[in-house]
Amino acid sequence: MNTKYKKITKRSLLYALIIVIAAYYLLPLILMVVTSFRSMEEIRIGQLIQWPKSFNFDAWSQAWNEAQIGAREDKGLKPYFINSLLIVIPAVVITTVLGAINGYVLSFWKFKGSEIVFALILFGCFIPFQAILLPMSQSLGRMGISGSIYGLIFVHVIYGLPFTTLFFRNYYISIPVELIKAAKLDGAGFLRIFFRIIFPLSTPIIVVSVIWQFTQIWNDFLFGVTFSDPDSQPVTVGLNNLVNSSTGEKRYNVDMAGAIIAALPTIIVYVLAGKYFVRGLSAGSVKG
């Protein structure tokens, strides 16, 4: 009985510690949410951390539709949010499919120099964003897609492909090569083996690739501000414009509401699929 009591006490202390740590990291988010529902009058005369006297959704409406600050009126996050969706969806799909094919080839259809090719692709993971701004800008200009949604999709596909290739290659080398040999003996070709055998087994690593790419692209600011024009800017650039467009008094409630709107998709993705992300990362760690 004494031993059982000790186990319960240790577990209770562990849970209490976890709750304290979680509260510590969630406090900024809670403060943002509370501030976004307060009026500026409450913020000016009240405390920094204070429950709203009445929930006011005006800040959310202004952050999404339009932000009227002083005598200046700026468009809200809605068009930027739509731009981010138009960028992130095709970029994630393309990098995931191409990364899966690259990983498949480099794992089961090796050719002379395939290891060198993989090393060169892997080198792309370590190139800093700033190093490619000028050559990428010149390339987009020559292709005629500079400052457009298509240009940003192209940039994110090129920069994300080394990561997805690495993910899929490391996952595929854990799949028994006997499956591929048996399929070849049955007369299956390159694409048939990929779509009938390999791709259906790739669900865990597909989740990893989608979450990784979605997060990287959605949260990107440097590429968005460098390779876009006012009509193709993503939500991170729109949030920066919203926060820094004040010519008079700061609207902290609008800024907080805008920050939550910009971060909401990635929060939802991690809440719904976070456990699958961890499972997918460890799925290919048994072999290779």
Under a CB-based contact definition with an 8 Å cutoff, are residues 219 and 266 in contact?
yes
How much is the pLDDT for 46?
67
* 274 DSSP 8-state letter: H
Mean pLDDT value of segment 54-68:
79
pLDDT digits (tens, 9 = 90+) for 153-172: 999 999 999 999 999 998 99
| Residues near 113 by beta carbon (within 8 Å), at least 6 away in sequence | none
pTM given for the model: 0.84
pLDDT at 284 exceeding the cut of 60: no
Mean pLDDT value of segment 179-204:
87
In this prediction, residue 47 has a pLDDT band, given cuts at 50, 70 and 90, of: low
Range list of H helices, the chain: 2-36, 40-45, 58-64, 78-108, 114-123, 133-143, 149-172, 177-185, 190-193, 203-218, 222-226, 235-243, 252-283
Report the alpha-carbon distance of residue 93 to residue 223 in Å, rounded.
Answer: 19
Q: What is the DSSP string of 134-183?
A: HHHHHHHHHHT-TBSHHHHHHHHHHHHHHHHHHHHHHHHTTS-HHHHHHH
In this prediction, residue 181 has a pLDDT band, given cuts at 50, 70 and 90, of: confident
pLDDT at 2 exceeding the cut of 70: no
Look at 22-31, 58-67, 99-108, 217-226 and tell me which has the smallest mean pLDDT. Answer: 58-67
Q: Which of 60-64, 162-166, 239-243 has the highest mean pLDDT?
A: 162-166
Q: What is the mean pLDDT of the chain?
A: 85
Residue 34 CB-density burial (10 A; 0-12 exposed, 13-18 middle, 19+ buried): middle
How much is the pLDDT for 288?
42
Under a CB-based contact definition with an 8 Å cutoff, are residues 225 and 240 in contact?
yes
Cα three-residue angle 282-285-288, rounded to 5 degrees: 160
Report the alpha-carbon distance of residue 81 to residue 238 in Å, rounded.
Answer: 8
pLDDT at 45 exceeding the cut of 60: yes
What is the amino acid identity at position 286? Answer: V
H or E element in which residue 68 lies: strand 66-69
Six-digit token string for 44: 């000016």
| Residues near 195 by beta carbon (within 8 Å), at least 6 away in sequence | none
More confident residue, 74 or 127: 127
| Residues near 262 by beta carbon (within 8 Å), at least 6 away in sequence | 77, 81, 235, 236, 238, 239
pLDDT at 246 exceeding the cut of 70: no
pLDDT digits (tens, 9 = 90+) for 114-150: 889 999 998 988 888 888 899 999 999 999 999 899 9
